[in-house]
Amino acid sequence: MAEEPKETKPGFQNPVAGFGVTFKAMFKKRLTEQYPEQQKTTAPRFHGRHQLNRHPDGLEKCIGCELCAWACPADAIYVEGADNTDEERYSPGERYGRVYQINYARCILCGLCIEACPTRALTMTNEFELADSSRANLIYTKEQLLAGLDDSMVDTPHAIYPGTDEQDYYRGLVTEAAPGTERQVAVSKGEKPKDEGVDA
C-alpha cells in the first residue's frame, strides 16, 4: 500500500516570502493615473468621438449616401438623405445628410465607417469622454457631430462658390466662402424625420 504524502506545515519562511513580494512592489514605479484630475494624452490616431466635416467655405461634406451606416457592424449609425436645391443648399452635390445620428451605446469605435465614407465627411477625433447617465443622451445628432465654423466659413445652407461645381470642392479648389456669401433660409430643418432613428 502506497504511503500518502505528508502535509507540509506552514513554517516561518512562508510569511517572510509574502512580505518579500510586498517590499519589492513598494519600490517599483507606480502605474496609477490620476484621472480625471490629470487628463490622459491620447495617441494621434486614437479612435474617439466622430466628427462631420465641412468644406472650407462651410458647406457640409456629407452627401447622405448612407455607406457609413451600411459599413457599421454594430448598427449604430442612422442616416437619412435629402435633395439640395438652389434655394437651400447644404452640400456641393445633389444630396446631403438631413438626419445623422450615432448611438454611442452601440458604437464600438472600430473606424469602419471612416473607411467607407467616399468624401472624408466622417472622421474620428481624440475625444473619448462619452459616458452619460442617460441612454438617450448617448445618441448624438447631426448638430452635435458637425464641425464648428472657422472665420472664413458661412453656416449652411448657402450657395456654392460662383463658377464652381462639386468636383472643384472635392479637388480642394474652393478654399473659402465667396465674398458676400449669405446664409440661406432653412426650410427643411424644422421637419421631423419619419423614422425615430437609432434605438437606444
| Chain segment 116-173, per-residue pLDDT in tens | 999 999 999 999 988 889 999 999 999 999 999 999 899 999 999 999 999 999 999 9
Domain boundaries, the chain: 49-176
Determine how many CB atoms are found less than 10 A away from the CB of residue 91. 25
Across 9-23, 139-153, 174-188, least confident range: 9-23
Q: Where are the beta strands (DSSP E) in the chain?
A: 50-52, 77-83, 95-103, 122-124, 139-140
Residue 2 pLDDT greater than 70, yes or no: no
The CATH topology of domain 49-176 is: Alpha-Beta Plaits (3.30.70)
Give pTM, 2 decimals: 0.75
Averaged pLDDT, 32-43: 83
